[in-house]
Copies of this chain bind each other. A is one copy, B any other.
Amino acid sequence: MAGTNARTGGRVRSEEARDAVLTAAAELVEEAGYGELTMEGVAARAGVAKSTLYRWWKTRPALVMDAYGPALARRMPEPDTGGVATDLVAFVEQLYRVVEHPFRVNALRGLMAEAQLDPSFAVRFEEWAQTRRAVVAGLLRRGVERGELAPDLDLEYAVDLVFGPFWYRLLVGHAPLDPADAEPHVRRLLGGLAATA
């Protein structure tokens, strides 16, 4: 009665195969980079038929999303320390800490690239990005409610000010991302660029 999906008959999906695929995909991204990852290669390393791959993951980015998405999302706590400054610093520090896992950086960059090249994937990618944005948006909203932030704040743009520079550095590589910069960056963000004197 309360059955979620009404399967009747049919061999059950092999968790073994699923795990092997996700592991293989993760390993290949780590070793050779997202650009070098091929469906063929994943299937071979996982000891799995290509048809099985395509049965469950229609495209390459969908696969990597599944292999990396959880790992990437896990590291996304919603800090709630009572002050927007400390909340933001905590979040941004965690954000910048991705550089401590170069292969995750690789995956992130690859997924972002794919989203540019494949419109159908772009949709899924944006959805994922929205889940991350929601965290920061919530955090900022609390700051507004507490009167810590400008009441006329454009939340959308404010969130962009957090993620934008992060992605920009990640993608262009002109400057390093350093967790130690989280605090000064947030301070600047809150205080603005203009001279206070």
Q: Does A57 contact B (CB under 8 A)?
A: no
- Shortest CB-to-CB span from A59 to chain B, Å, is 12
Kindly specify which of A15-23, A38-46, A63-71, A173-181 makes contact with the partner chain.
A173-181
Interface of A (DSSP majority class): helix
Whether B171 contacts A167 by the Cβ 8 Å rule is yes
Apart from the given pairs A148-B194, A161-B188, A164-B164, 14 other A-B contacts in the complex at a CB distance below 8 Å: A33-B119, A34-B116, A34-B117, A113-B113, A113-B115, A147-B197, A150-B193, A150-B195, A151-B195, A161-B161, A163-B164, A164-B165, A164-B167, A164-B169
Q: Mark A180-197, 1 if CB is under 8 A from B, else 0.
A: 010011001111111111
Whether A192 contacts B191 by the Cβ 8 Å rule is yes
Q: Mark A140-154, 1 if CB is under 8 A from B, else 0.
A: 100000011111011
A interface, size bucket: 35 or more
Q: Does A125 contact B (CB under 8 A)?
A: yes
Q: Does A114 contact B (CB under 8 A)?
A: yes
